[in-house]
């Protein structure tokens, strides 16, 4: 399993961090790979509830991710699946990855651990070079 893990220490209690992670107003303030705006944030924070976030990058590209909450344990743990969508339809053949946030109270604030697993499911989004799929196609041909 390929997994990205990031840890941050934040000078705010877990309750405030959890709120920032789960409310549309909170999400609108931080979600995205650069300083571009969040255009839409919807959350239904309960197990089985869904979220949707659309954001615009500084280069003008718009992206949307959506998924379902799998574990909700305020203010300690939040697990959701993750999928890129395009115009409401799943991109990537509906492949999902899994995103989790774990919050641990520490002196003066919160230690947040983010884990994003199964990153390769978005591999076909790779727009430059021949990408993963191309490399494997070539490999398959090589041995057929």
Partner 1 sequence: MVNYRADQLDRIFAALVDSTRRAVLARLEREKSASVSDLARPFVIKLPAVMKHLDVLEEAGLITRSKKGRTVTVQLRPDPLQAAMEWLSHYQRFWSTSLDRLAIYAEGKEAEARRKKR
Under the rule (CB under 8 A), what is the footprint of partner 1? 1-2, 4, 6, 8, 10-13, 16-17, 19-21, 26, 29-34, 93, 95, 109-110, 112, 114, 116, 118-123, 126, 129-136, 138-139, 142
Q: How far apart are CA 125 and CA 3, in angstroms?
A: 18
CB of 47 to partner 1, least distance (A): 22
CB of 65 to partner 1, least distance (A): 10
| Cβ closest to partner 1, residue 70 vs residue 118 | 118
Q: Which tokens go with 89?
A: 């339809």
| Cβ closest to partner 1, residue 106 vs residue 114 | 114
Cβ contact 119:97 at 8 Å: yes
CB of 49 to partner 1, least distance (A): 20
């Amino acid at each position: 399993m390929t997994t990205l893990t990031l840890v941050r220490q934040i000078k705010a209690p877990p309750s405030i961090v959890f709120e920032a992670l789960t409310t549309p107003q909170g999400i609108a303030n931080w979600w995205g790979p650069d300083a571009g705006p969040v255009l839409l944030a919807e959350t239904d924070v309960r197990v089985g509830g869904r979220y949707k976030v659309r954001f615009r990058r500084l280069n003008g590209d718009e992206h949307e991710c959506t998924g379902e909450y799998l574990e909700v344990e305020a203010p300690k743990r939040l697990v959701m699946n993750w999928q890129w969508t395009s115009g409401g339809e799943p991109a990537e053949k509906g492949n999902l990855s899994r995103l989790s946030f774990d919050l641990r109270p520490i002196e003066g604030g919160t230690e947040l651990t983010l884990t994003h697993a199964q990153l390769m499911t978005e591999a076909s989004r790779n727009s430059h070079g021949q990408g993963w799929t191309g490399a494997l196609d070539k490999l398959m041909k090589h041995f057929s």
